Chain A
Amino acid sequence: MSERFRKEYAGRGLVTICGLLIIAITLAIGAFLIYQGTGTFYKFHHSLFEFLFSSDWSPMDNATEGGGSVGSAVYIAGSLMTCGLALLIATPFAIGAAVFMTEISPKWGTRLLQPAVEIFVGIPSVVYGWIGLTILVPFIRDVFHAKMGGYSVLAAGIVLAVMIFPTITTVAADSIRSVPDYYRKAAYGLGSTRWQTIYKIVLPAAKTGILTGVILGLSRAFGEALAVAMVIGKTRAFPKNILSPTNNLTAAIAADMGNSASGGEQNMALWTMALLLYVISMIFIVLIHALGKERKE
């Protein structure tokens, strides 16, 4: 028994611990965020409506006193706008690249494009942010005569687009590759051209996979702090157009988390923003799973 235990159950026990540990950590982070993040509502008595839809942000920064306001609409809108813009820019390019490397030129695709895209994934976000700050921001200032020195929604959108492009491309390419070959053969057999096959048969068949890639990209964009913080300008106002600066959730948390009084109104509001990000990423994950199920059926 002990010999058998050592050989069989010890190893299985070990991997089970690892699995349970991951689940426990995820749940613990969630529980901690809920504990910290709800302080805004029960300790300082703000309403969820105020937090989500008011743009009046002036929380008190000391340990005990409340009475400020915690409207985070500017940050939420900033996150939504920059991510939306990033998707608008990145998605067409990503799908195009995915189609090119799977359908048009698989040889080039696997030998050159695939490694290039993988390198993109590996570049740290601070590098993207820094390049954005030194090249993109002055470019936007000089070319579009942006008022606030080029720090803008546009700059943030472009930097994010470059960052999420490889994610969408990789997932979309996988999904296109998994479209059965007899679909294509049937399309050719019916007299379709190559483009008609791609456009009418392959892409619709790979639709849910591509959408999964888009959501994965979106969740990366939503959680990105460093690169965005460097180019967005962090002005606490709704942007007048895509050339004006604004702020977003992640940059706002990063800017004040170290200095604000722990347990104070401002600190708590930042935790609530962190909780919001957690909830949003949960929603994305649920969406991806729902899409995966649909794909299987």
Chain B
Amino acid sequence: MKKKSLAIVSAIVMTASLLAGCGASGSADKAASTAATQAAADTQAADTQAADTQAADTEAAAQAESASADEATQVSGEVTAAGSSALLPLVQAAAEKFMDTNPDCTVTVNGGGSGEGLKQVADGSIDIGNSDVFAEEKLDADAAAKLVDHEVATITMAPVVNKDLGVTNLTTDQLVSIFTGKTTNWKEVGGPDEAIVLVTRPSSSGTRALFKTWALNGAEEASNEALETDDSGTLLQTVEQNKGAIGYVALSYLVNNADVQAVSIDDVEPSLENTYNGTYKVWGYEHMYTNGEGSDAAKAFIDYITGDKFADSVESMGYGVASKMSEDAVNSHKSN
């Protein structure tokens, strides 16, 4: 009995010392990281200075100028981003290229969903929260007010059907009727005699929210008659395998996919061009939120994504460049 209690007491003592150790090392960590940040800032300042001198030295050599300009804007440090899976491929591609030009900077990008990204950036565990929706829709007002919104790109959603179906255009009314479960056979909308299989996304999905607002005029999808898929990749696979299937994905998923048929809405083809000029209305902004102004590295990264250099990559991946949106297009989304 005595031995047992001694064992328990020593266990408690050891746990306590363990915890104390953790606490101490925790604060030590913090101190170390503060020091590191300071050091990073110092080196950065030194770097900039060095670059300046270098620039002055080599002013005559015109071809070297761009290289030194690059060096002057170099940042170091760590950037973590997480959130929207619709935006993930773009941010990942940008991170790779950004790290090529900024070797001292590490950018880590994760998915997890818009809600998760917003939550984590609001509580400070990541630098950038990627989201398909405005922060106000997922956070309480206080938390949302602290975040700064960067609209880095636009994303266009297209209805997709099976290639063998032969349907290439639907009116908005037909689309609403199909997704609310009123139309159940393709022959009612000019297609073959084939039962319609709805393939949709979870109710919290940003893609679904966007499609509901801009393609279905706010009508609620018939979730009790639809197959639900966790991600756009699975959705495409389901549509490929079922002749009567209809779903919707972002254009970015259709860039290298010839196995499904994108459907025009009211004779307007879902394309970047039509998104820019305002004729195709099913699109939305992709947001990258920082807590306050964000770190220098985070700011530089966001500037890189929205910058001209990366714009071609944005378009080749099927996203829209926010600065190319025509006034008509921007206004059409503002009025609602």
Binding site for B on A (CB under 8 A): 5, 9-10, 12-14, 16-17, 20, 61-64, 138, 141, 147-149, 151, 229-230, 233-237, 245, 247, 254-264, 266-267
For the complex, what is the distance from the CA of A14 to the CA of B195, rounded to whole Å?
A: 64
Selected contact of A13 from candidates B10, B140, B205, CB within 8 Å: B10
For the complex, what is the distance from the CA of A79 to the CA of B202, rounded to whole Å?
A: 18
* Contact flag A17-B11 (CB < 8 Å), given A63-B140, A236-B224, A259-B113: yes
Min CB distance B306 to A, Å, is 24
Contacts of A264 in B (CB 8 A): 138
Query: Is A262 touching B224 in the complex (CB atoms < 8 A)?
Result: no
For the complex, what is the distance from the CA of A260 to the CA of B117, rounded to whole Å?
A: 11
Contacts of B119 in A (CB 8 A): 261-262
Q: Which of B226-234, B261-269, B293-301 contacts A (4 or more CB under 8 A)?
A: B226-234
- Does B332 lie at the interface of the complex (its beta carbon under 8 Å from any beta carbon of A)? no
Selected contact of B11 from candidates A13, A138, A260, CB within 8 Å: A13
Query: Is A266 touching B204 in the complex (CB atoms < 8 A)?
Result: yes
* Contact flag A229-B230 (CB < 8 Å), given A14-B14, A236-B224: yes
- Does B279 lie at the interface of the complex (its beta carbon under 8 Å from any beta carbon of A)? no
* Contact flag A147-B228 (CB < 8 Å), given A256-B203, A266-B203: no
Query: Is B139 touching A261 in the complex (CB atoms < 8 A)?
Result: yes
- Does B15 lie at the interface of the complex (its beta carbon under 8 Å from any beta carbon of A)? yes
Interface string of B30-64 (1 = CB under 8 A from A): 00000000000000000000000000000000000
CB closest residue in chain B, given A137: B241
For the complex, what is the distance from the CA of A141 to the CA of B243, rounded to whole Å?
A: 12
Selected contact of A258 from candidates B13, B113, B227, CB within 8 Å: B113
Please name the 6 residue pairs, one residue from A and one from B, whose CB atoms are nearest each other, closest first: A258-B113, A234-B228, A259-B204, A237-B224, A259-B113, A13-B10
CB closest residue in chain B, given A270: B204
For the complex, what is the distance from the CA of A154 to the CA of B241, rounded to whole Å?
A: 19
Query: Is B6 touching A259 in the complex (CB atoms < 8 A)?
Result: no
For the complex, what is the distance from the CA of A264 to the CA of B139, rounded to whole Å?
A: 9
Contacts of A63 in B (CB 8 A): 138-140, 143
The count of chain B contact residues (Cβ–Cβ below 8 Å) is 44
Contacts of B241 in A (CB 8 A): 138, 149
For the complex, what is the distance from the CA of A141 to the CA of B204, rounded to whole Å?
A: 29
Query: Is B14 touching A258 in the complex (CB atoms < 8 A)?
Result: no
* Contact flag A261-B138 (CB < 8 Å), given A13-B7, A235-B227: yes
* Contact flag A236-B223 (CB < 8 Å), given A149-B197, A149-B242: yes
Known pairs A20-B15, A266-B204 / 5 extra A-B pairs, C-beta < 8 Å: A64-B141, A141-B242, A233-B227, A237-B223, A259-B114
Which of B14, B114, B224 has the most A CB atoms < 10 Å from its CB?
A: B224
* Contact flag A256-B204 (CB < 8 Å), given A16-B8, A63-B138, A235-B224: yes
Contacts of B15 in A (CB 8 A): 17, 20
* Contact flag A262-B10 (CB < 8 Å), given A61-B203, A233-B227, A235-B225: no
Contacts of A236 in B (CB 8 A): 223-224, 228
Binding site for A on B (CB under 8 A): 3, 6-8, 10-11, 13-15, 18, 111-116, 118-119, 137-141, 143, 195, 197, 202-206, 223-230, 234, 238, 241-242, 245
Contacts of A14 in B (CB 8 A): 11, 14
CB closest residue in chain A, given B143: A63
* Contact flag A261-B229 (CB < 8 Å), given A61-B203, A236-B224, A256-B203: no
For the complex, what is the distance from the CA of A14 to the CA of B3, rounded to whole Å?
A: 14
Query: Is B143 touching A255 in the complex (CB atoms < 8 A)?
Result: no
CB closest residue in chain A, given B137: A62
Query: Is B115 touching A262 in the complex (CB atoms < 8 A)?
Result: yes
Q: Give me 5 A-to-B residue pairs in the complex whose CB atoms sit less than 8 angstroms apart, sorted by A's number.
A: A9-B3, A10-B10, A12-B11, A17-B18, A63-B139
Query: Is A234 touching B227 in the complex (CB atoms < 8 A)?
Result: yes
CB closest residue in chain A, given B202: A255
For the complex, what is the distance from the CA of A245 to the CA of B228, rounded to whole Å?
A: 10
Query: Is A258 touching B225 in the complex (CB atoms < 8 A)?
Result: no
Which of B7, B143, B197 has the most A CB atoms < 10 Å from its CB?
A: B7
For the complex, what is the distance from the CA of A230 to the CA of B238, rounded to whole Å?
A: 11
Query: Is B10 touching A259 in the complex (CB atoms < 8 A)?
Result: no
Contacts of B202 in A (CB 8 A): 255-256, 259
For the complex, what is the distance from the CA of A254 to the CA of B225, rounded to whole Å?
A: 20
Min CB distance A245 to B, Å, is 6
Contacts of A9 in B (CB 8 A): 3, 6-7, 10
CB closest residue in chain A, given B207: A259
Query: Is B14 touching A237 in the complex (CB atoms < 8 A)?
Result: no
Min CB distance B103 to A, Å, is 32
* Contact flag A148-B197 (CB < 8 Å), given A259-B115, A259-B206, A260-B115: yes
Query: Is A149 touching B227 in the complex (CB atoms < 8 A)?
Result: yes
Contacts of B225 in A (CB 8 A): 235, 237
Query: Is B224 touching A64 in the complex (CB atoms < 8 A)?
Result: no
Min CB distance B260 to A, Å, is 14
For the complex, what is the distance from the CA of A257 to the CA of B230, rounded to whole Å?
A: 11
* Contact flag A147-B138 (CB < 8 Å), given A245-B227, A256-B204, A258-B115: no
Contacts of A64 in B (CB 8 A): 140-141
For the complex, what is the distance from the CA of A257 to the CA of B119, rounded to whole Å?
A: 12
Min CB distance A56 to B, Å, is 11
CB closest residue in chain A, given B237: A133
